[in-house]
Amino acid sequence: MADYDRRPHGPRGGRKRRYREDDDYDRRQRRRYEEPLIVKVRRQLLTIAESAARRAEDDAISIARSVAENYGDEEFRNSFVDIAIDLVLEQPLKIPFIAATVLVANFQKSELVSDVLNRSSESLQKYVDVGAWREVKLLLRFLGCLQSIFEGDGIFPVLEELFARAVDLQTASSEDLLGLELVKIILFTIPYVMASPATGFESHATALLEKTDIIASTPHALVDLVNPFGPETGKPTATQSFISLVQTQLQNESSRSWELSCLPRPWKGAREALEADEAREEEGEPKSVEDGPKHPFPQITVPSPVKNGTRAIFPEVYLSVYANQDIETVPPTSDIASSLMRDVLVDTINILDFNRIATAKFLIDVDCYFTTNTFVKRATPFDRLRDLPGDRSQWKPEDVAVDAVFSQLFQLPSPEHKLVYYHSVLTECCKIAPAAIAPSLGRAIRFLYRGLETIDLDLSHRFLDWFSHHLSNFGFTWKWSEWVDDLELPLVHPRMAFITGALDKEIRLSFAQRIRGTLPDPYQDLITEGKEKDTPDFKYQSDTTPYAAEGRETMQLVRKKASNEEIQPVIDAIEEQAKSMGVEDPLLSSTDAFVTAICFVGSKSLSHVLSCIERNKERLLAIGPKSSQARRQIITSVMEYWVDQPGIGINIIDKLLNYTILTPLSVIEWALVDKLEAGTVLAKSHVFEMISATVGKVTNRLRQIVAARTQQGLYEPQLSVLDETLNREKVDMQALFKVIEDSIVSVAGGSNDELMERGDGSGNLPEDEIIRQWGQRWLRVFRRKAGVEESFITDAMATATPVGTIAPAPETVTSEIAPADGEMDVAEVEAGADFS
Amino acid sequence: MSTLLHNTVDRLDRPSAYYVGKNKRRKYSQDEPEKVEEPVDNLKNATTLYVGNLSFYTTEEQIHELFSKCGEIKRLVMGLDRYNKTPCGFCFVEYYTHQDALDCLKYVGGTKLDERIIRTDLDPGFEEGRQYGRGKSGGQVRDEYREEYDPGRGGYGRAYAEDQQRREEEDYGAGR
């Protein structure tokens, strides 16, 4: 297990297969070797509750005993304390079991528990100070599970203090989100306290809940922004936030005397076993295990105001891909189990991103960490659930696990890790337990597919991307036959857009012929001949194309790496000819020939086209400044050449942006002004991809500038230089979002001229409504993006060193190092330099 | 991001045993072992990954499609047969940031591309010449002696196949 028992030579340490005989010999030798107790206890602790075959209670007792008996051994003692806290922070599913071990230890060696509490409070204080709220939540949960060993009110005063901070924040601003995060911590601590052996805290919990209600239940303005399903047209929405849901669930639970039936209570079994042991040993009255000594609750100072850590906070919404099934395979939102499981699984997933296989294992084993019979047996088929007796749980552990991953994959505005991490977790789950997971994924896919018309557009693309990537890991097998009927739908229908988009992405990860082979007959037409061509035709090869001869000549010149000067005469020839034919902007014609030639010559691979671009950079760079129309012609030429494999086209556009041959604005204008085609372009998934990537490039750059501008210890004149760059680029970004807004808003509102001119001009064609909806969905995505970036900049700049701050004079520096006598340099304070 | 000194489960974003082992061997064969850089040190800010077990038929575009899920790719260098200059089953992917490279190890290494499980390893950086196979016949060393048939990597190992053929010729006479 990880670093804890990394021996210089593991069981197979350093030996290669050819030494097999030696290896066998070694192994026989090792069998006689007895593992030191400390190694055994570490392993027991690290793997506590992992196996359904072992009783976690027994392990808890055995661990506590061993550590208590070896309390004098510093290494033994410390490694227990370290691992216990590390597990709390890294494997939250195990918190109740670690706590049970500590409760048993308190009975046997309460000094050990003091050590654990000291270490917890050091750690907790550190995380409170930096605003790492997830870690705070987990440590508080751990302490909450230990409530019975604390003097007085135990954990409640610190929860009250967190609440007071939340109130301060909420009073200061109605837009506050940090306060909500604090309330969330409180709400997710209470159930663990109530499921602990501590008794008599019902009124504390209820009183606290009454207070949190006003904050948790007040709708936040941003909740609609993160709703995975956009508001339906014309209907006012009231999306419930995650914490308001938890608040309601907890209130219900308090009226049911805190049943909290899903939460494990390993302390109960441990207590019973211990009492039995005691009774046997002392042959007397069974002694209550509660009788361990009490400890003061660790001193924690909550700064005022509290600060937030590195991750921006947004409201959360509870999403389940198994909602509305005729059988409840996951806890309903009326049951607190839904939130408790979701919370701890999401933390597990996000904390363990450094080992997706471990994450997947936890997800598959989810039933080990909740009360027995919370779930049906693993891998019970969906159809079999109907046959279960009525009072039995129908919750499928796989569904609960998969649901948690999807909740992150579909987290708005963005999840904690890269999307591909969540892909990889689902892949691993499928690898570990294909029979259990694959059918669950199937039902999730069907749910999402059915929701394609209303799901947030960003999420619909995440779905597309995950779906194709997932299939690429499993031989591209999917039951396409069940969507055959949808092939009748118009091309702009979201389902058709999904099917064509998914097939395109599959092809990108594989190749057309391979994908064709995985598809039933009705889909064959979707894989056009053009998609199977490695090298698309060069249009100037046909004499019917205008400037055919010159186009071919250009191509030959590009192919033989001719110099800019050598190419010029052909370009001139095309422009002459264009002029004579009355073409308004001859540069467009020559640009088309030139860029198409580059695409054709570079069609063999990305590096071929890149070196082609590199060689002709000078001419390409000169086009844009001459005419913005010509700049957009570059995009047209690329995308037309790669019309059947738009993924390659997008890639080239992306590189052209890096070369600054194209500008982000030109890409947006190309797609949303030039090629809007009455809004039908909005149904093309590769166009969304291209626009998102382009916008992403701009916002990433801006974030880098913000990072540079807000770094500490920055003074004039750099401050002003960076500030100027920031402001300039911010204006550019806003302009970019404005263009997107202006072009789409007409489609969404149905006032786009071309859209109105379609068909009979009534705007009532069946497709017109679909197109308007595309417009609304696009708007939502890019308005959100604009808002998120805008507030990121505002938040970051709130603590930045103001322009005009001069580097402190050398004396100031020395005074800073000088013993803190409580006096700060006045000039420094006035300048507002924030060194915290 | 975990801030613990030790993790309770292994991390997937560490250099591979192969990389560490390779450097260790070098370390002991030299006279002044203390002068050799710690293998982990020169990977501290690595942005490049070695990618192995690709099919010879996997294209740059396919690699790009998968690997750009972890971040923008700065450079992609295909591994080529030293003599034929055809892809020989490996490549180097360079990202702009170290974090993207680490994420790739964690999220993409060990998953499938073109229906093969690919291998990723942190790499100190591409240098001219490293794009060629180091095997005797121009490909990767592992494709010389491989005894298993791998249709994605040219069938049997080249040296192995030659060996087989020679044996057959010895047994049955040449020209069969």
Mean pLDDT, rounded, for A654-667: 97
The verdict on A776 and A704 lying in the same domain is yes
Structural domain includes residue B36: no
Inter-chain touch A353–B11, beta carbons under 8 Å: no
Q: What is the C-alpha to C-alpha distance for residues A226 and A317, in angstroms, rounded to an integer?
A: 7
CB atoms inside a 10 Å sphere around CB A649: 21
What does the pLDDT read at residue B16? 84
Structural domain includes residue A699: yes
The verdict on A341 and A438 lying in the same domain is yes
The verdict on A234 and A345 lying in the same domain is no
What does the pLDDT read at residue A237? 56
Residue A823 has pLDDT above 50, yes or no: no
Kindly list the residues from chain B whose CB atom is less than 8 angstroms away from the CB atom of residue A508.
61-62, 65
Closest partner CB to A90 (pick from B4, B70, B103): B4
Inter-chain touch B4–A424, beta carbons under 8 Å: no
Could you tell me the CATH number of the domain that includes residue A231? Answer: 1.25.40.180
What does the pLDDT read at residue A282? 63
Segment among A304-318, A392-406, A652-666 with least mean pLDDT: A304-318
Q: Which residue has the higher pLDDT, A804 or A282?
A: A804
Kindly list the residues from chain B whose CB atom is less than 8 angstroms away from the CB atom of residue A91.
8-9
C-alpha closest to that of A228 among A343, A312, A320, A311: A320
Q: What is the C-alpha to C-alpha distance for residues A392 and A410, in angstroms, rounded to an integer?
A: 31
C-alpha closest to that of A418 among B115, B68, B4, B45: B68
Q: Name the pairing type of β-strands B87-95 and B73-80.
A: antiparallel
Residue type (1 letter), A793 = I
* Residues 55-74 of chain B whose Cβ lies under 8 A from any Cβ of chain A: 59-62, 64-66, 69-71
Kindly list the residues from chain A whose CB atom is less than 8 angstroms away from the CB atom of residue B58.
none
What does the pLDDT read at residue B39? 56
Residue A755 has pLDDT above 80, yes or no: no
Closest partner CB to A607 (pick from B11, B76, B107): B76
Mean pLDDT, rounded, for A728-757: 88
Inter-chain touch B9–A421, beta carbons under 8 Å: no
Residue A522 has pLDDT above 70, yes or no: yes
Mean pLDDT, rounded, for A623-633: 95
Q: Does A657 touch chain B (CB under 8 A)?
A: no
Split into its structural domains, chain B has a count of 1
Inter-chain touch B65–A355, beta carbons under 8 Å: no
What does the pLDDT read at residue A470? 98
Inter-chain touch B61–A14, beta carbons under 8 Å: no
Closest partner CB to A473 (pick from B7, B10, B111): B111
Q: Does B107 touch chain A (CB under 8 A)?
A: yes
C-alpha closest to that of A789 among A830, A730, A829: A730
* Residue from A44, A354, A464 to probe the interface with B (highest B Cβ count within 10 Å): A354
Structural domain includes residue B27: no
What does the pLDDT read at residue A35? 84
Distance of CA A691 to the CA centre of its chain: 21
Q: Does A129 touch chain B (CB under 8 A)?
A: no
Residue type (1 letter), A797 = M
Q: What is the C-alpha to C-alpha distance for residues A512 and A515, in angstroms, rounded to an integer?
A: 5
Mean pLDDT, rounded, for B59-88: 96
Distance of CA A583 to the CA centre of its chain: 50
Mean pLDDT, chain A, integer: 90
Q: Name the pairing type of β-strands B116-117 and B112-113.
A: antiparallel
Residue A352 has pLDDT above 80, yes or no: yes
Q: How far lies A148's CA from each of A122, A187, A193, A295, A439, in Å?
A: 21, 19, 9, 9, 43
The verdict on A387 and A270 lying in the same domain is no
C-alpha closest to that of A67 among A37, A25, A99, A95: A37
Split into its structural domains, chain A has a count of 3
Q: What phi and psi values does residue A366 have, to the nearest 5 degrees?
A: -50, -35
Inter-chain touch A606–B76, beta carbons under 8 Å: yes
Q: Does B29 touch chain A (CB under 8 A)?
A: no
Radius of gyration of chain B (CA): 19
What does the pLDDT read at residue A836? 33
Mean pLDDT, rounded, for A802-823: 59
Burial B29-54 (b: 16+ CB within 10 A, else e): eeeeeeeeeebeeebeebbbbbbbbb
Mean pLDDT, rounded, for A275-303: 76
Q: For residue range A186-196, list pLDDT tens digits in order.
A: 999 999 999 99
Q: Does B117 touch chain A (CB under 8 A)?
A: no
The β-bridge partners of A388 are none
Closest-CA residue of B relative to A696 is: B72
Question: If you write DSSP's letter for every residue of A153-184 in order, what string do you get?
Answer: TTTHHHHHHHHHHHHHHHHH-TT--HHHHHHH
Q: Which residue has the higher pLDDT, A766 or A156?
A: A156
Structural domain includes residue B92: yes
With pLDDT > 90 as the criterion, what percentage of chain A qualifies? 78
Residue B20 has pLDDT above 70, yes or no: yes
Tokens of A424: 């990889």
What does the pLDDT read at residue A826? 32
Mean pLDDT, rounded, for A816-832: 36
Tokens of A463: 């779905």
Q: Please answer whether residues A474 and A795 qualify as being in contact, where contact means their C-beta atoms are separated by less than 8 angstroms.
A: no
Inter-chain touch B61–A354, beta carbons under 8 Å: no
Residue A18 has pLDDT above 90, yes or no: no
Closest-CA residue of B relative to A697 is: B72
* Residues 78-117 of chain A whose Cβ lies under 8 A from any Cβ of chain B: 82-83, 86-87, 89-91
Closest partner CB to A648 (pick from B61, B113, B114): B61
Entry pTM:
0.91
Kindly list the residues from chain B whose CB atom is less than 8 angstroms away from the CB atom of residue A417.
103
C-alpha closest to that of B6 among A743, A248, A215, A89: A89
Q: For residue range A493-511, list pLDDT tens digits in order.
A: 999 999 999 999 999 999 9
- How many alpha carbons lie under 13 Å from residue B32 in its C-beta half-sphere? 3
Burial A77-111 (b: 16+ CB within 10 A, else e): bebbbbbbbbbbbbbbbbbbbbbbbbbbbbbbbbe
Cis peptide before A664 (omega within 30 of 0): no
Inter-chain touch A420–B108, beta carbons under 8 Å: yes
* Residue from B9, B104, B105 to probe the interface with A (highest A Cβ count within 10 Å): B9
- CA dihedral B36→B39→B42→B44, nearest 10 degrees, is -150
Kindly list the residues from chain A whose CB atom is less than 8 angstroms away from the CB atom of residue B76.
606-607
Inter-chain touch B6–A606, beta carbons under 8 Å: no
Structural domain includes residue A397: yes
- What pLDDT band is residue A827 in, cutting at 50, 70 and 90? very low
Q: Does A419 touch chain B (CB under 8 A)?
A: yes
- What pLDDT band is residue A834 in, cutting at 50, 70 and 90? very low
Q: For residue range A197-231, list pLDDT tens digits in order.
A: 999 999 999 999 999 999 999 888 888 889 998 76
Mean pLDDT, rounded, for A425-443: 97
Q: Please answer whether residues A312 and A131 qualify as being in contact, where contact means their C-beta atoms are separated by less than 8 angstroms.
A: no
Structural domain includes residue B113: yes
Residue A8 has pLDDT above 60, yes or no: no
Kindly list the residues from chain A whose CB atom is less than 8 angstroms away from the CB atom of residue B13.
354
What does the pLDDT read at residue A250? 97
Kindly list the residues from chain B whose CB atom is less than 8 angstroms away from the CB atom of residue A357.
12
Q: Which residue has the higher pLDDT, B31 or A639?
A: A639
Range of the domain at B138: 44-173
The vertex-A188 CA angle with A79 and B8, nearest 5°, equals 25
Inter-chain touch B111–A424, beta carbons under 8 Å: yes
Residue type (1 letter), A656 = L
Q: For residue range B102-146, list pLDDT tens digits in order.
A: 999 999 999 999 999 999 999 999 999 998 998 888 899 988 888
The vertex-A208 CA angle with A202 and A209, nearest 5°, equals 90
Q: What is the C-alpha to C-alpha distance for residues A262 and A372, in angstroms, rounded to an integer?
A: 8
Structural domain includes residue B39: no
Closest partner CB to B107 (pick from A14, A424, A647): A424
Mean pLDDT, rounded, for A142-168: 97
Q: Please answer whether residues B140 and B88 qualify as being in contact, where contact means their C-beta atoms are separated by less than 8 angstroms.
A: yes
Q: Does A165 touch chain B (CB under 8 A)?
A: no
* Residues 41-60 of chain A whose Cβ lies under 8 A from any Cβ of chain B: 46
Radius of gyration of chain A (CA): 32
Tokens of A275: 């009492």
Q: Which residue has the higher pLDDT, B175 or A444?
A: A444
Domain boundary among A478, A509, A532: A532
Inter-chain touch A421–B103, beta carbons under 8 Å: yes
Mean pLDDT, rounded, for A378-389: 92
Closest-CA residue of B relative to A505 is: B65
Q: What phi and psi values does residue A741 have, to the nearest 5 degrees?
A: -55, -50
Mean pLDDT, rounded, for A751-764: 65
Structural domain includes residue B76: yes
Domain boundary among A497, A532, A567: A532
The verdict on A402 and A504 lying in the same domain is yes
A685-710 and A718-748 are packed helices; what angle lies between their axes, rounded to 10 degrees?
A: 160
Mean pLDDT, rounded, for A325-345: 96
Could you tell me the CATH number of the domain that includes residue B84? Answer: 3.30.70.330
Mean pLDDT, rounded, for A663-692: 95
Kindly list the residues from chain A whose CB atom is less than 8 angstroms away from the CB atom of residue B4.
86, 89-90
Residue A734 has pLDDT above 50, yes or no: yes
C-alpha closest to that of A426 among A413, A412, A410, A414: A410
Q: Does A508 touch chain B (CB under 8 A)?
A: yes
The verdict on A142 and A240 lying in the same domain is yes
C-alpha closest to that of A352 among A405, A412, A406: A405
Residue A301 has pLDDT above 90, yes or no: yes
Range of the domain at A268: 37-279
Residue A534 has pLDDT above 80, yes or no: yes
What does the pLDDT read at residue A391? 79
- What pLDDT band is residue B17 in, cutting at 50, 70 and 90? confident
What does the pLDDT read at residue A238? 64
The verdict on A240 and A152 lying in the same domain is yes
Q: What is the C-alpha to C-alpha distance for residues A469 and A476, in angstroms, rounded to an integer?
A: 9
How many angstroms separate the CA of residue B144 from the nearest CA in chain A?
Answer: 18
**Largest alpha-carbon pair distance within chain A?**
113
- What pLDDT band is residue A30 in, cutting at 50, 70 and 90? low
Inter-chain touch B6–A86, beta carbons under 8 Å: yes
Distance, first Cα to last Cα, chain A: 38
Structural domain includes residue A310: no
Q: For residue range A385-404, list pLDDT tens digits in order.
A: 998 887 788 999 999 999 99
Structural domain includes residue B32: no
Q: What is the C-alpha to C-alpha distance for residues A618 and A448, in angstroms, rounded to an integer?
A: 47
Q: Does B26 touch chain A (CB under 8 A)?
A: no
Residue B31 has pLDDT above 80, yes or no: no
